[in-house]
């Protein structure tokens, strides 16, 4: 099946007993058994639930994997990946990670004995120079949050696997979604999503996802998911499945609107830097063209007047772009990275990531573009 068909039919079939076209919400914690120790297909919803299973099959289909896993949040999914490691193992990651990932790495797992090295992912040499005998995982995020750098997944996978085929490569594919790029096809071992964002698409659930191809790795992830218990519930699984069915048409409009917004901001006299991989002057534009079907629905920018007063005045003036955490919903949102997505990161670390106090991230929704541009124009008057 082609991708657009997969969003609707991938891994799915009518429910066997009733013929329901949409997977039912199996809102149950437990299932009856034939006899003591003799289960039916399901026994306890922490281990598996029919609604979650339907979602996990859909996720695997979208990413061309063999096993999908749905978690209670994106960070719970990353937490599961890190639990496959042991004290003394090293993780190489990009130096401009999402703030929640950075917090998870530095505030939790460093205490548990994992070692983290942060490098510029633009350079294969920097990654290769960082690899040691303890390196067990390379963690990529592309596009990055919120500076929208693009990492060449295939080139990094080839370079790392040439050094050591046992090093796992994980990719946070949240911003791109499987509609725009499929990391497993490019050599990655693990794909992670904050399904809260584009996969759900309606700002009504919190969820994470992992997709893999390797059966042994899948078995380990499933055990951790079951043992630690950070699972997605049946209602959220139902909502995610519903969102996935329109992923392709939503992403088309997100991408169409985002390039218009990026070009508008690029030409506005009050705007400073604009971060969007679809612009020709973006440093990773050619990689994005090669690796992605389109350029995504997120645009970040700064004002020429980088003062706190000017930034906050813009955020107070904007109306259609809701000032809120998160992204990827049908409605447009604006995020002030320093006080929201990266608030847990020290100012020194933020500045190293390129996140100034003036940086704002737009999640461009699927509204009429004329209304979005008019809203930006009015807010940029800064009066």
Query: Tens of pLDDT along 54-69?
Result: 999 999 999 999 999 9
Whether residue 236 is found in the same domain as residue 278 = no
Whether residue 135 is found in the same domain as residue 201 = yes
Instruction: Provide the token pair at 291.
Output: 């690796």
Which is it for the CA torsion 192, 198, 200, 202, positive or negative?
A: positive
pLDDT in tens, 341-352: 788 788 888 888
What pLDDT does 383 receive? 57
Q: Find the catalytic residue in 79, 96, 152, 172.
A: 172
Whether residue 57 is found in the same domain as residue 192 = yes
Q: Which of 243, 266, 296 is the last residue in one of the domains?
A: 243
50-62 and 234-244 helices cross at what angle (nearest 10)?
A: 30
Query: 29: domain CATH number?
Result: 3.40.640.10
Whether residue 102 is found in the same domain as residue 203 = yes
Q: Is 118 a catalytic residue?
A: no
Tell me the Ramachandran region of residue 259: left when phi exceeds 0, alpha when psi lies from -120 to 50, beta otherwise. alpha
Instruction: Provide the token pair at 152.
Output: 């060449």
Q: Residue 157's domain spans which residues?
A: 3-243
Q: Is 253 a catalytic residue?
A: no
Number of domains in the chain: 2
Report, in angstroms and rounded to the nearest whole number, the Rg of the chain calculated over CA atoms: 21
Mean pLDDT along residues 36-47? 86
What pLDDT does 333 receive? 98
pLDDT in tens, 119-174: 999 988 999 999 999 999 999 999 999 999 999 999 999 999 999 999 999 999 99
Q: Is 245 a catalytic residue?
A: no
Residue 182 scores a pLDDT above 90? yes
What pLDDT does 230 receive? 98
Residue 41 scores a pLDDT above 90? no
Instruction: Provide the token pair at 300.
Output: 């970040």
Q: What span, in angstroms and rounded, lies between the C-alpha atoms of 362 and 274?
A: 11
Whether residue 216 is found in the same domain as residue 287 = no
* Burial (CB count <10 Å: 0-12, 13-18, 19+), residue 356: middle
Residue 382 scores a pLDDT above 80? no
Our CA dihedral for 346, 352, 353, 355, rounded to 10 degrees, sits at 70
Band of pLDDT at residue 354, cut at 50, 70 and 90: confident
Query: 316: domain CATH number?
Result: 3.90.1150.10
Q: Find the catalytic residue in 6, 149, 197, 250.
A: 197
Instruction: Provide the token pair at 318.
Output: 């904007």
Comparing CA positions, the residue from 176, 205, 204, 203 lying closest to residue 192 is 176
Helix (H, G, I), strand (E, B) or coil at 141: strand
CB 367 within 8 A of CB 333: no
Q: Is 98 a catalytic residue?
A: yes
Whether residue 201 is found in the same domain as residue 316 = no
Q: How far is CA 320 from CA 173, 363, 368, in A?
A: 27, 11, 11
Whether residue 174 is found in the same domain as residue 154 = yes
Q: Which of 195, 214, 243 is the last residue in one of the domains?
A: 243
Whether residue 8 is found in the same domain as residue 146 = yes
Whether residue 214 is found in the same domain as residue 159 = yes
Mean pLDDT along residues 251-261? 98
pLDDT in tens, 202-247: 999 999 999 999 999 999 999 999 999 999 999 999 999 999 999 9
Whether residue 234 is found in the same domain as residue 365 = no
Q: What span, in angstroms and rounded, lies between the C-alpha atoms of 121 and 28?
A: 44
Whether residue 24 is found in the same domain as residue 122 = yes
Question: What angle (nearest 5°) sits at the alpha carbon of residue 88, between those of residues 86 and 92?
Answer: 95
Q: Which of 210, 243, 276 is the last residue in one of the domains?
A: 243
pLDDT in tens, 357-381: 999 999 999 999 999 999 999 999 9
Whether residue 313 is found in the same domain as residue 364 = yes
Alpha-helical runs (H) found in the chain:
3-9, 50-62, 74-82, 99-103, 124-130, 153-163, 177-180, 215-228, 234-244, 247-266, 285-291, 308-317, 347-353, 369-379
Instruction: Provide the token pair at 98.
Output: 């999402």
Element (H, E) at 212: strand 208-212
Q: Find the catalytic residue in 79, 83, 96, 98.
A: 98
Count Cβ atoms below 10 Å from residue 31 Cβ, excluding itself. 17
């Amino acid at each position: 099946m082609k991708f657009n068909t997969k969003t609707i039919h991938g891994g799915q079939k009518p429910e066997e007993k009733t013929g329901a076209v949409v997977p039912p919400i199996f809102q149950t914690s437990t299932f009856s058994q034939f006899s003591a120790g003799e289960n039916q297909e399901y026994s306890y919803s922490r281990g598996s639930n029919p609604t979650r299973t339907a979602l996990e099959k859909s996720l695997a289909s979208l990413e061309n994997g063999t096993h999908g896993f749905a978690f209670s949040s994106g960070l719970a999914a990353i937490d599961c990946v890190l639990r496959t490691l042991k004290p003394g193992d090293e993780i190489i990651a990009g130096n401009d990670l999402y703030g929640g990932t950075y917090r998870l790495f530095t505030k939790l797992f460093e205490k548990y004995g994992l070692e983290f090295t942060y490098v510029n992912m633009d350079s294969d040499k920097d990654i290769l120079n960082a690899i040691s005998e303890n390196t067990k995982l390379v963690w990529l995020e592309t596009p990055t949050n919120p500076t929208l750098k693009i990492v060449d997944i295939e080139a990094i996978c080839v370079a790392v696997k040439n050094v050591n085929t046992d090093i796992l490569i994980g990719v946070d594919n949240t911003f791109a979604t499987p509609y725009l790029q499929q990391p497993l096809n490019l050599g990655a071992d693990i794909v992670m999503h904050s399904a809260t964002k584009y996969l759900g698409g309606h700002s009504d659930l919190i969820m994470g996802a992992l997709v893999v191809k390797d059966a042994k790795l899948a078995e380990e992830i499933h055990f951790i998911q079951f043992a630690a218990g950070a699972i997605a519930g049946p209602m959220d699984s139902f909502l995610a499945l519903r969102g996935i069915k329109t992923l392709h048409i939503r992403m088309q409009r997100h991408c169409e609107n985002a390039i218009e917004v990026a070009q508008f901001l690029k030409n506005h006299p009050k705007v400073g830097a604009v971060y969007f991989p679809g612009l020709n002057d973006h440093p990773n534009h050619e990689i994005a063209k090669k690796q992605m079907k389109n350029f995504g629905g997120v645009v970040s920018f700064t004002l020429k007047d980088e003062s706190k007063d000017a930034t906050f005045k813009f955020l107070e003036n904007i109306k259609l772009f809701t000032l809120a955490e998160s992204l990827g919903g049908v409605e447009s949102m604006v995020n002030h990275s320093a006080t929201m997505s990266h608030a847990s990161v020290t100012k020194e670390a933020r500045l190293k990531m390129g996140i100034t106090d003036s940086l704002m991230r737009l999640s461009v929704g699927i509204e009429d573009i004329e209304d979005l541009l008019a809203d930006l124009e009015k807010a940029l008057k800064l009066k």
